[in-house]
Each structure stands twice: as C-alpha cells, then as structure tokens.
Structure 1
Amino acid sequence: MCPFNFKLDKSCCVLVTSNHTADLKQRRESERTMCSPMTKPICLVTNVNSSLCVNTSALEYLSNNDTPVVVVSVVGLYRTGKSYLMNRLAGKQTGFALGSTIESKTKGIWMWCVPHPYNAKQTLVLLDTEGLGDIDKGDSKNDAWIFCLAVLLSSTLVYNSRGTIDNTAVEKLHYVTELSEQIKIKSPPSRAAEEEEVEDSHFVQFFPNFIWTVRDFSLELELEKRGRVTEDEYLEFALQLKKGLSMKNTNYNLPRQCIRNYFPTRKCFVFPFPAPEDKMVRLETLDEGEISPKFLNVTKQFCDHVFAASKVKTLKGGYRVTGRIFGHLVQSYVETISSGKVPCLENAVVVMAQIENQTALQEGLKVYQSGMEQVKSLFPVKVSELSAEHQKMSNMASTEFMKRSFKDEGQEYFKKLVEEVDKHYAELIAQNMEASDKKCQQILSDLYEKMNERVQRGEYAKPGGYSLYCTHREDVITQYNSQPNKGIQADLVLERFLSEKSVEAKLILQTDEQLTESEKKVQEEKEQAALLEQQCKAERNRNLEITQLMQEEKEHHKQRMQQLEKKFEEEKLHQQQELERALERKLAEQKELLKKGFNENAKMLEMEIEQLKKEKNKESGNIFKDFFMPILGTVLSKVLKL
C-alpha cells in the first residue's frame, strides 16, 4: 500500500493579455500626439520695462508637444516688415501684428506653432521678435538680449532690413559682434584659458542658419566689373573683408567676420516693393491681385527655402529639441539672462538633460507599472509567464525612456529605471507567491473538509481505518494536482500540508488494530519516504524555476545593453554630424579667404580647423562601455527568502 499517489501537475495557466500591450502603446501614442496647431500667435517672452519674462500659457502649450521643432526667428530694426514674413511662413495673411504707424507693434517675442509643411512629424515654430532700435525703449542692452535669444533658440535666423546691404545696414547689425560676450559654449570650470580665446570660433557648430532679407529693394543686382549677380553673391560682396590692420578696417571687418564665422550657412533674398506706397499701410488686408507679382514670387521662394533648408533645432551635442524641451530651453535662457548671467550652451544641455532624464525615468516606470497591472490581476501565474511579461514590459519601459532621455552620462537615470523596475518586479514575484500560497491553501482546505469531518467523527479510528484514510488522502492529492493555475507555491504548499497531517496519519496508523506492529512499521517508513519525496520535488521544482529566472534575467540584461548601445551610437552619430558640419563650413571659409588673398585670416582659421579635427577623431571612438551590471540580486533574494 503506497501512502501517497503522487502525480505531476501538468496543468498550465494561460496568461490572457488580450491586446493590452497594443492598447497601451496606442494610448500612450495618443497622449503624445502633437497638441492642436495654434490659430494665432501667442506671446512667448514678455518685455516690460526692459525686463524679460516667459509667458506661462506658452510654456503650457509647448509642454504638450513631443514632436521635434524647427524654429525660425526673425529679427531686425522695428517697422521693417518682419511680421509679414512670419505670417507668410505660417501660410496666413494675418496673424502676427503688422501695424501701420511708426510705433513698434511687436513687444517681446511672439510664437506661432504650426504643422511643418514638408514634414508632418515636425512642428514649425515661428518667432517674431520685438523690433530692434525702438526709439521709445532706448535700451540697446535689452535689444542685444532679444537678438541673443533669437540666435540661441532658432534653427534659422532671418535678419530683415530695408533698402540695401550697405555699410550702414551691416553696422546696424552690430549685435552680432556682441554675441561672443553674451553667449558661452562651455561653463568656466570646464574651459581652459587658451580655449576661452577661441571659444567663439566654435559658434558655427551650434548657431542657426542665417538669412538676410532685404525689403523694398529697388536697385539692379549688378556689380561693377562682374555685371549681373545673384542675391547670394550680393550678400557675399557686402560681407567682403578689407585688407589691412588699421582701426578703420578692423571696425569695418568685425561684424562681417562675425557673420562669416558664427553662422553655418548664409542666404539672401531681396524683395521689391510689395505695393504702391498708399497701400503699404494695409498690406495684410490686400488681395494677392493688389500685390506685386515679383514680390509674391520672392516671398514664395523665401518660404520654400526656409521650409526645405531649416533643420530641427538641436542642442550642443546634436540632441534634437521637441516642443517640450524647447519650452524648458526658453525658460532656462530667460532666467539666466534675467539673473544677470551669461547663457551657456553647455549648462543649458545639462539642465535640459536633468529635466528630461528625470521625466523619462518616470515615464518609463509608468509604462512598466501600468503594463504589469493586468498580469497582477491574474495572480497567481507561473514564474515563466510572469517573467515573460516582465521582460516585455521592461523593454517597453526602456524604449520609452530612450525616446526622451539624452546625455545620460554614466547611465545614471537608466540605472535608476532598471533598479525601480526590478524592485517592482521583486514585489510582484512576492505578491504572486503569496497569491499562490493562499490559493493552494484554500484548495487543500476545501478538499480536506470532508476528511476532517470523518476524522472528527472517528470513522478512521477502527480496524482498516488507516487504509481508508490513505485512499481518501490520495483522492485529495489527485484532485489538488488537477486544479489549474495554482502558481509557484503548489508543490511547497502540498509538502507543508502533508507534513502537518503526518501526525494525524501516524496516530490513525498506530490505532489501526487490523495491522500488525511490523506492518505499521513498514507503513510508517513509507509515510516518511513519501513526505521526503514531496519535499525533494518541491525543492527541485523551485531550483528549476530559479535557474530559469536567472537565465531569463541574463538574456534580458543583454537586451538592455543592446538598447543602451543603440542609444549611444545614435548620440555619437549626432555629435559626429555636428562636428562635420562645422568643419565643412570652416574649410569652405578658409578656401574663400585664400582665394581672395586673406592669407593671415586663413592661417588663423587653421588652428580652429585642427581643433575641430581633433574633436571629431576623439568622438569617433566607441564611447559605449559595458560597465552596467545586471541587477539580479534583488529579485532572486526575494524568491529565495520566501
């Protein structure tokens, strides 16, 4: 007679995920849909009594935009028609205030966010800035900061002027000569003394494209000895340097040299008068038939060029800016300027990285936790099923984190994400084990209820009672093993149950007068052997599950490392492209200087070019290091202790 009739539990619980992963992804994508386009511009930065302040409504709007932004700013003297160009870029006749008097209409910086005409996945952010040189304001320092903000925030900077590009027009762009004092690339602690002297030569890596638009141009595009020239050749002619080291030549060259050094590309458009003088005051209300066809043609060429050539705004290091990051960027720069400090590109990246990485951490954890809620509702489940769902949701959390994070040096925030995810996973394992334990105990309690009643009535306390007891106990075990979805604790709870009932079984065995003493001894040994077998089975299955868990976690770690490496490679590529564009521009500028005989200037550029080459070679190495260790201890210690 065998005390226990053991059978392997071959039932399997089915984890019904339905389409929850797809639904979750769809829901989150829906949350990330670009906020509805603005119907009209809103103020981004107010400028009251020469004090700059960010408009909270504009920040709130930007915070809901996760699409990359292409930012186009227009600057120039007041009453030169800047707002009209911005309206045309928005595809509208009206929007930004034009005004019809000598008084400056735009105050501060106004923003209009519209879908990008060429790329549905990008947002075109148009910034119309307060006119420079407003006689009512009389604050050149304030004008300089407005100009500085336009440079810092934009992908393309449009400088708008009237008449011609002569020396007077260039001198009015004196703000560009002050940029090296108003913007720093690196924070002082990380800047060597020799680097400070040539730091402004690196602006070309981070500054926007430059477009000079000349309004009400009435001359012929012709140059003496060259004849007919293009608009771009006209601009280059105006930006030519004069040879010689006299103070007069130095002052003449300074703004021109800054434009040539700082901006990666230069473009020019000349606009004829749009309409007769008596109609100019109501330009925004004129029908196209009342506007000069030549003016409309140049306007179209201008808009087409801006849409095609303007790139997504990036931070130092090549990090792409979304609407949300752009809002943080505006706030950071305005707060820095208002505090009397000089905006620093390196510091801005650090601040943006901290904000975005912390948000990325929370968003990634949110994806994991919400994704695991449905699994939790099905507890208890098998370890393999819980592990599979954990890996899937953990990968989704990592992907979500990677979308938003940047410059996560040392993987500080990614490590925190993994720690939080694994901590939550350990808690889920414990909860799953607890749910399994409770369920198994309840099943055995229900199945044993009739046997317990028989014990209480003394039905087994008679000759042959032990044999009957064993038969009923085997029925309980068989029924227990046939129950589905018992979870990880099934064998352990059964072993504990049989151990608890061993005293009861021994007592019934000893009082059974039908059995001889030798038979009782044999049965007692069988009881002990069967109990030991159940203990071994529970331990064996537990070890198999732990081994499987460790193997799956190692595989999961490999996947995490692959995600990290991919992220590093993307960031390295952006940095390489940034350096290549800067190097390209410097080489082109050097070639132009040599061609025109400015050998001394070209020689000075050589040092900048060599520095860029060194940085490029340094960045071309593999910056990814697999020093991130898998966090298995937290999870496994939970399993081993329970």
Structure 2
Amino acid sequence: MEMKEPLCLIACTTNNKLMVNQEALKILSSFEQPVVVVSIVGKYRTGKSYLMNRLAGKNKGFPLGCTIQSETKGIWMWCVPHPHKDDHTLVLLDTEGLGDVKRGDENYDTWIFILAVLLSSTLIYNSMGTIDNDAIMKLQFVTTISDHIKVRSSCKDEDSQYADFFPSFVWVVRDFHLDLSIDGKCIPPDEYLENSLTLKEGESEQISSYNAPRECIRKYFPSRKCFVFKLPVPHGKLNTLEKLKNADLDPVFVKQTSEFCNYILSCGGKTVFTGESTITGSMLATLVKTYVEAIQKGQVPCLENAVVALCQLKNFAAVEKSYALYRQLLGERVLLPTETQEELDRVHEDCKKEALQEFMASSFKDDDQRYQNELLSHINDEYEKKCTDNRDLSMNHCTDLLNRIFGRLAPGCFIRKGGYEAYKAKQNALIQEYRRSPGRGIEV
C-alpha cells in the first residue's frame, strides 16, 4: 500500500493540545513491513517540506509556501515504498515549523521536537544561512530533553542511555553562501558542523550557556552528519519551486540535494530504539499513540514503557500466530491414531521447530524468553492433548475391531468331537486377522 499524498498524523487543537488523527493511525497500522522513519524539524518557512518531497522522489506532496505564513500544522506523514530497501516502507514526517509567532507557544514547539526525536530513525534539523551561535541556541530544546523524555520508569536515568535510543542527526544548512574553509583550508560540511559544536573552556555563566546546547547535541546525538545547500533559484522564483525540474535549478543545488537524498536513503539512520529490532508500521502506530497519550495526560513519555507496550502487543500476536501455525501443521501432517508413538513425536518436533522459527521472526525484544516459554507451554499442552486423543482413538478402534472380529467366534459351534482343536484354530485365525488389520494405533 502506498499513500498518494501526505496526511496529518498528529494534529493540534485550538488550545495547542496534541491529538492523533485516527485515519492516519489506521493507515500506519496497516503496514506490517519494516519502516525507516525520517523526520525534519526546524524554524518555520525554511523549506523543510521541499526536502521531504525530494526524499519521496516527488515535486509535490507536502505543501510548500511562499509567504511568511507557516503551511504545516502538527506532524504530517507520508508513507512510500523505500527506494533502496526492498520490503521496507519509508515514513516521512514533516513537522510544524518551530517558532511560529502566531502560535507563540514554546512548550508546544518542544513537544513537536520531542515527538520527532522519539519517532525517528533519522532526525533532520533544517536551518538557514550558517551554523552560528544563534542557530545553535535555537536548539535549546536539546538541553531539556531529560525533562521531557525518560529512559526508565523507576530508576534514575543515565544521560549516556539516551544516545542508544535516539536517531541519527543530520544538520541541513539552507541558502549557504560562504566558503567552507578555515585558515585558507577547505573543509567538508561535517567538519564545519563539528567545529561549530566545539566547547569553550571556562566556568563562567556565559560560557556555560554557550556550551550547554553543544554538549547536549554531542551527547545525545553521537551519530551526526551535515549538508549545506545553495539557494536553488533566485528568490523571485521560489514561489514556483514545486513546478520546476532539475534543469531549472542551480546545478550545484541539484548535486547537493542528490548527495543528501542518497545519504538519507542509503546510509543514514537506524531503526527506532536501539537499532537491534525491526519496527513495523503497526508498531510505529503504537508508539505514536503511546507517546501522545502520555503528553495529553501531562506525563513524561517513557522509552521503557513504550518498549513494554510494544512487547506486549507484538509478542502476544506472535504467540497466537505461531501457536496457530503449530496446530495447523500438526493437523495436516498426522492422522490419528498413529501406528507408533514415535511417529507422533517426530511430527510434533518438526511442527514445534517451524512454530518457533515463526515466533522468532515475529517477536520483539523477548529477551527473557517469557513469551517464547508461553508459546512452548501452549504447544506442549496441545501435544499432550494430541497424545491423549491418539491413545483414546487407538483404544476405541481396537475395541471395536476386536468385538467385530471375535464376534464371529461362536463357542456353541465347537461343542463336538475335535471341537477344541477347531476352536483354537479359528481363534488363531481371528487373532492373525486382527493383527493384519491396519489403523490399530498404539494400543495394539
């Protein structure tokens, strides 16, 4: 399934409260493929939506604007097939611009930024002009991350743990017009970013204020990348940008954009959380719902609680699916009663192995094997029931067969001379007939 156009995922009410769009959540829940989530944040009217359209391989999609008014409200979602990863869905999240003077709510801006961090594989920060102190200070959100996100629900959070859960960080500088050089030496954009994040020595209040956002960016986002872009067209043509083809744009900008898209789609990013487990669209939908509900209740979103919620949802479904597969395979591969117990045991082991393989492919972070053991318990119960049914069917069949065969043995017919020998011969013949009869099972 491919979305033809973006849809609002998280909307904002008139009093700046966040709410999930159920239609978008339903669409996201329908994707059982692994997802790669790329979100973009930054000041409003800085061209974020245009970059996201380029990542989608489209000229149009997320709405562009040519006035001072912010176009995107809340967080919008566009799910498209990933161009470089088979059987993956690329989820693009375009966020409402930070610092909208009309909204004028710093707390709202903070939660938009926090949600982008929580939901992303790659987080793009879009800014204009240069990476100067003013641009970095606009990222003061990072200094309050520990106030707005908890790693653990009970114990004190360690700052070092955040980096394990956070996305890769890409800083994009738009309309960059300076030479990338220091002391006459050309430097790559990544070095430009790292130089901008260099800390000052000293302990004064001014230096502490200067260092605070830089320390947080370095600490929370150890995986960092930087891209710079020239102005794509003269200012007078920006309002027609979505109608222009690459041939109409500045060639340097086209090259820079291509390098950016190739990196984001091929190299950048990890899966949500630690990068160790696959996140599907339905799981991402659960995260969206979990985080927004926490914010609505005035709570701090907790990564551990979100993981627990995903584990319960995903692993319960994995147990049910794998158990159903075991029962299906066992029913298809064995006909009761079996001739021997070993035959049933062998089929049971084969079916159990395939069910466990299905569970391992479908489960999520079952580190303590709680759900795997639950599955094995269900399988063993089903197997014991099958063994009981096997014995009962065999016993009933053997009893009916004995009654039918030996019912033909009429003792009165042998009350004559030589009757005993005739009786024994007939009895032995009937016993051989019984033993030759198929389908007797294990209760022979």
Q: What TM-score do the two structures reach when normalised by structure 2?
A: 0.92
Range moving further from structure 2, 243-252 or 56-65: 56-65
Q: 1:243, 1:274 → 2: CA distance?
A: 39
Matches within 5 A, 1:243-282: 243-282=201-240
Structure 1 contact 313–320 (Cα < 8 Å) conserved: yes
What residue is the counterpart of 1:497 in the other structure? none
What residue is the counterpart of 1:204 in the other structure? 163
Q: 1:159, 1:381 → 2: CA distance?
A: 68
Unaligned runs of 5+ in 2: none
What residue is the counterpart of 1:216 in the other structure? 175
Structure 2 contact 119–272 (Cα < 8 Å) conserved: no
Q: 1:382, 1:66 → 2: CA distance?
A: 42
Q: 1:58, 1:485 → 2: CA distance?
A: 57
Match of 1:334 among 292, 302, 309: 292
Greater radius of gyration (CA): 1
Question: CA deviation digits over 1:422-461, x for unaligned, max 9?
Answer: 111011111112222222233333333433xx45xx4233
What one-letter code is carried by the residue in structure 1 that aligns with 2:431? I
Q: 1:364, 1:436 → 2: CA distance?
A: 29
Structure with higher helix content: 1
Whether 1:309 and 2:267 are equivalent positions in the alignment is yes
The structure-2 alpha-carbon separation of the partners of 1:411 and 1:47, relative to structure 1 and needing over 3 Å to count, comes to: same
What one-letter code is carried by the residue in structure 1 that aligns with 2:5? K
> 1:334 deviation in Å?
1.5
| Partner SS for 1:282 | helix
The structure-2 alpha-carbon separation of the partners of 1:381 and 1:119, relative to structure 1 and needing over 3 Å to count, comes to: farther
Q: 2:125, 2:245 → 1: CA distance?
A: 26
Matches within 5 A, 1:137-536: 137-187=103-153, 189-191=154-156, 196=157, 199-223=158-182, 225-316=183-274, 318-375=276-333, 377-408=335-366, 410-451=368-409, 454-455=410-411, 458-490=412-444
What one-letter code is carried by the residue in structure 2 that aligns with 1:369? R
Q: 2:26, 2:330 → 1: CA distance?
A: 31
Question: CA deviation digits over 1:45-85, x for unaligned, max 9?
Answer: 22223222233333333434343322211011112111111
What residue is the counterpart of 1:122 in the other structure? 88
Structure 1 contact 170–255 (Cα < 8 Å) conserved: yes
Question: CA deviation digits over 1:99-139, x for unaligned, max 9?
Answer: 33332222222222233333214332221111112223222
> 1:233 deviation in Å?
2.4
> 1:150 deviation in Å?
0.7
Question: CA deviation digits over 1:360-412, x for unaligned, max 9?
Answer: 22122111111112245554453222111110111112222222334435432
What residue is the counterpart of 1:103 in the other structure? 69
Whether 1:134 and 2:100 are equivalent positions in the alignment is yes
Q: 1:130, 1:73 → 2: CA distance?
A: 11
What residue is the counterpart of 1:40 in the other structure? 5
Structure 1 contact 156–211 (Cα < 8 Å) conserved: yes
Q: 1:379, 1:61 → 2: CA distance?
A: 47
Q: 1:409, 1:292 → 2: CA distance?
A: 52
Whether 1:90 and 2:44 are equivalent positions in the alignment is no
Q: 2:50, 2:404 → 1: CA distance?
A: 82
What one-letter code is carried by the residue in structure 1 that aligns with 2:435? N
Unaligned runs of 5+ in 1: 1-35, 491-642
Question: CA deviation digits over 1:79-104, x for unaligned, max 9?
Answer: 21111111111122222222333322
Structure 2 contact 9–21 (Cα < 8 Å) conserved: yes
Range moving further from structure 2, 424-433 or 166-175: 166-175
Structure 1 contact 316–349 (Cα < 8 Å) conserved: no
Structure 1 contact 444–476 (Cα < 8 Å) conserved: no
The structure-2 alpha-carbon separation of the partners of 1:432 and 1:181, relative to structure 1 and needing over 3 Å to count, comes to: same
Structure 2 contact 167–270 (Cα < 8 Å) conserved: no
Structure 2 contact 166–273 (Cα < 8 Å) conserved: no
Match of 1:69 among 35, 53, 60: 35
| Partner SS for 1:462 | coil
The structure-2 alpha-carbon separation of the partners of 1:286 and 1:325, relative to structure 1 and needing over 3 Å to count, comes to: same
Q: 2:347, 2:425 → 1: CA distance?
A: 41
Q: 2:224, 2:328 → 1: CA distance?
A: 50
| Partner SS for 1:102 | coil
Structure 2 contact 338–344 (Cα < 8 Å) conserved: no
Identity of aligned residues (%): 45
Q: 2:399, 2:435 → 1: CA distance?
A: 13
What one-letter code is carried by the residue in structure 2 that aligns with 1:138? G
Aligned pairs, number: 443
What one-letter code is carried by the residue in structure 1 that aligns with 2:10? V
Superposition CA RMSD, Å:
2.2
Q: 1:118, 1:55 → 2: CA distance?
A: 29
| Partner SS for 2:413 | coil
Structure 1 contact 156–208 (Cα < 8 Å) conserved: yes
Q: 1:78, 1:89 → 2: CA distance?
A: 19
Q: What TM-score do the two structures reach when normalised by structure 1?
A: 0.65
